[in-house]
Chains A and B, each alone.
Chain A
Amino acid sequence: MNETTSVTAQGEVKGLVGFVKFIISELKPRGKVFTPFNIISGAIILLGAVLIIYRFAKGLGAATNLSQDYPWGLWIGFDVVTGVAFAGGAYTLTCMVYIFGAKKYSPIIRATVLSGFLAYAFYAGALLLDLGRPWNIINPIIGNAFGLSSVLFLVAWHFMLYMITELVEFSPAIAEWLGWKKLRKFLMGLTLGAVIFGITLSILHQSGLGALYLLAKGKIHPLWYSEFIPLLFFVSSIFAGVSLVIFEGTISHRVFKDLINPNLHASYEKIVAGLGKIALGAMFVYLFLKILVFIHGKNWEYISSPMGYWYLVEILGFVLLPLIIYIAGVKGGSIGLIRAASIITIVGIIINRLNVSIIAYKWDAPIRYFPSWIEIEITLAVICAEIWAFRWVIKRMPVLNERPDYKWMH
């Protein structure tokens, strides 16, 4: 019994037994198993799994450096707050392709939506590790107690709805993989609605993640606290997401060389240049807003202090500098410069989100928070697991290429 019996000549997976057989055969690894990357990341994931059990058995205090002063640490500040910002590429690009009709981005749309979906599934999933009483996460969903005045309530619902939306956007690829033509046609019809709903949800929860910190007035350093955090989080999620798409594309193009459609190879440089343009536009708006907030808050007095210098490093080194490099790259048509700018931008977003959530949070506390090795190790395990999931899908479903009877890279 092998997979040929579960799939018809037309490539369609038939019946429940056929489906199960097909999935089992697809779960088997493809390509070389014992590569250096697999061995290292596999060890990290394995250790992470053990430590997750330890965390639930012993409580958060044993596994993390969280304290009464710092209730939110790396798992929220990096995994959730930063991870979700990087997932912003999906709504930006679906907006470009399906709303503004910029079809040149179509070849990378599936990879972007997939990585966005996995980012939510894994990084927002890491939220469960951080909850003290995770089984009660169903409470805000089933509605026995709706905390409607809570920004977190809004963010929780939007996370959930947006994951479903992204799955719908990606679902035609799954239908193609299974060879289910009728279902694919139906799912393709849902795309525009899902895209519009998804963009709306993204605007609200990207800004909502920032709005969470509005209640921490007096706890976050004034250089990072303002009533404009939600707007700043939203605008920065655009260039955070786009920069990650550029960076991810660089790696995907090396690793998945054989899988990539020739058309995508041909138009790739044009796509990257276009992405660079989107990123620099959003960054320009962001920098302008940052300066406005700075002047509006009368923040000059804080600049000549350690936190002030750190603020300048963030703004000049990780917003202004990559913005200039992006401009140079787009004007000179240099893919290398655009890639360099995307990497600096990614580092800058990590710094910014950690600043708001951890570094500038109770910046004057006598004992500062620094993550424990277990927190860092589990975070690495989550990232590795996400890469494994991404690779698994890329190698099996039509994401970077299209099958002859299913055209979608117009």
Chain B
Amino acid sequence: MPKGVLVDLSRCVGCRGCQVACKQWNQLPAEQTTWQGSYENPPDISPNTYTKVRFVEGNHREQFFWRFYKTQCKHCLEPACVSACLVKAMEKKPGGPVTYDEHRCMGCRYCMIACPFNTPKFEYDKAIPRIRKCQFCFDRQEVGRQPACVQTCPSGTLKFGERNELLDVAKIRIYKEPNKYVHHIYGEHEAGGTSWLYISDVPFEKLGFPTNIGTAPYPGLTKDFLYAVPIIFIAVPSLLLGISYIKNRRNEDK
């Protein structure tokens, strides 16, 4: 059964323990950063930062809010990056993780064009570069452990488990406190559904979640074209052969 993580934004205290735990487990170096006008750092996920907590200030129901939300690869159920990859460097594991294999990758960066969440990052500063992204700690999951970020979360914001069960948990929380939560589970249907699910007490568009993604799985966008390929491969040559046969016979008659 596919695994998932439920992120309850109303519980996050913005400690960024998940960010540190991720760096430790994946042995990612620290980044030189500058003051951005916010407590969050670095400015975005990057080749050396798979996950990052965003800090958002705003107004909701005439109340000031300060919210924190963790960003990383959403591990789509039908990932755009996997369908885009021509060498199967990106792979969807049965349990949920979308993984990357640098030994297959040719560095074309089509996965970056395809990903609706702009997740895969490329090592532009290296002579032998790789794509870098969260791999859902698939190595930890293989030995029955939860992802490093979930393990370290002190506030109960992150919950790891079966995706189906997490959807039930999310629905129960919204049902129990309908005035507190937004009635939407982000990731239940977005881009055909993602392994990472978010619930929040502030509307997702106010937090800067991408809201133009739709619910159709991304691989479907190129499916029609790819289905047409074998048809064209049979129809066009036979048509051309027929025309050239008729034309050349006519020329001979003249």
Residues of chain A at the chain B interface (Cβ within 8 Å): 56-62, 64, 66-69, 71-72, 95, 98-101, 130-134, 136-137, 139-140, 144-147, 149-154, 156, 192, 195-197, 199-200, 203-204, 207-208, 211-219, 227, 230
Contact = CB atoms under 8 A, between A and B. Distances in A.
Contacts of A56: 127
Given A58-B127, A218-B212, A219-B113, A199 B243 contact: no
A146 B241 contact: no
Contacts of B88: 145-147
Contact of B106 (A69, A137, A211): A137
Nearest to B47: A68
Interface stretch (B150-158, B175-183, B230-238): B230-238
A218 B116 contact: yes
Contact of B113 (A59, A100, A215): A215
A195 B241 CA distance: 10
- Looking at chain A's contact residues, the main secondary structure is helix
A197 B225 contact: no
Given A60-B124, A67-B124, A211-B225, A149 B109 contact: no
Contacts of A71: 109, 112-113, 122
Interface in B52-92: 80, 82-89
* Interface-central residue, A69, A134, A216, by most chain B CB under 10 Å: A216
Contacts of A66: 124
Q: Which 4 A-B pairs have the closest CB atoms?
A: A132-B107, A61-B124, A153-B86, A71-B109
A153 B225 CA distance: 13
Nearest to B213: A218
A30 B114 CA distance: 48
Interface string B94-115: 0000000011111111101110
A72 B109 contact: yes
Contacts of B124: 59-61, 64, 66-68
A100 B232 contact: no
Contacts of A199: 236, 240
Given A68-B44, A196-B244, A217-B214, 12 more contacts: A59-B126, A61-B124, A69-B118, A71-B109, A101-B244, A101-B251, A147-B85, A200-B236, A214-B225, A215-B221, A216-B113, A217-B116
A203 B236 CA distance: 9
Interface residues of B, number: 59
Given A131-B107, A134-B107, A150 B221 contact: no
Interface string B184-224: 00000000000000000000000000101110001101101
A132 B123 CA distance: 9
Nearest to A153: B86
A100 to B, nearest CB: 6
Contact of A59 (B110, B129, B248): B129
A192 B237 CA distance: 11
Nearest to A151: B222
19 contacts: A68-B44, A72-B109, A95-B240, A99-B244, A130-B108, A131-B106, A132-B122, A133-B130, A136-B104, A136-B107, A139-B87, A146-B88, A147-B88, A149-B219, A192-B244, A211-B225, A214-B222, A215-B222, A218-B213
A204 B108 CA distance: 20
B46 interface: yes
A64 to B, nearest CB: 8
A211 B210 CA distance: 23
B187 to A, nearest CB: 17
B226 A133 contact: no
Contacts of B221: 214-215, 217, 227
Contact of B108 (A57, A98, A152): A152
A254 B153 CA distance: 74
Contacts of A216: 113-114
A99 B82 CA distance: 40
B31 interface: no
* Interface-central residue, B84, B210, B248, by most chain A CB under 10 Å: B84
Contacts of A139: 87, 104, 106
Contacts of B84: 150-152, 215
A295 B89 CA distance: 39
B113 A136 contact: no
Contacts of A192: 244
A81 B87 CA distance: 21
Contacts of B247: 99-101
Contacts of A211: 222, 225
B128 interface: yes
* Interface-central residue, B103, B104, B109, B248, by most chain A CB under 10 Å: B109
A136 B130 CA distance: 12
Contacts of A147: 85-88
B142 interface: no
Contacts of B129: 59-60, 132-133
Nearest to A127: B108
B11 interface: no
B112 to A, nearest CB: 4
A147 B225 CA distance: 15
B86 A59 contact: no
Contacts of A136: 87, 103-107
B125 A59 contact: yes
B121 interface: yes
B229 interface: yes
* Interface-central residue, B83, B87, B89, B224, by most chain A CB under 10 Å: B87
